[in-house]
Structure 1
Amino acid sequence: MTKWRLALAVDLLAASELPLDAIAAGAAYANPCSLSAAFKRIHGLSPSSYRVATATWLAAQGPARGRPRPCRR
């Protein structure tokens, strides 16, 4: 159950700019502190640090990486 809830949190952190309390609610955590503790225990960094690292990594990949390319005919 924890892995599933953290997977939801990872998706929300990477794909949105929602505040942590909204992400905690969306991932079925009672409060942001519970999410932060579980996230740090499993991933080794805070949800905020994960969001920054993900954004930095995506920016370094450039526009063609990590996104589907349009079909060419």
Structure 2
Amino acid sequence: MTQAFILGGEGKEGLLLADLQSGTITPAKEPLARELAKAASLRTSGVTITKGVDIAIATSAETLATGSIHEGNN
């Protein structure tokens, strides 16, 4: 099972590391190496990269706070 994700938001500089095991999101440490550095370079030129992700939704904290996403039993 995946324990971490690398994230980058459109229009935002830098990458984030979301560690699912520890429940943290932190900036990815620079300088990036190997394949991650190549992916980051492609991203700056407008390429969208996904690998091992079956859903990703960009939203604002305000949207989440107003209860627009509902979970639970129906």
TM-score for both structures, normalised by structure 1: 0.33
Greater share of helix residues, 1 or 2?
1
TM-score for both structures, normalised by structure 2: 0.33
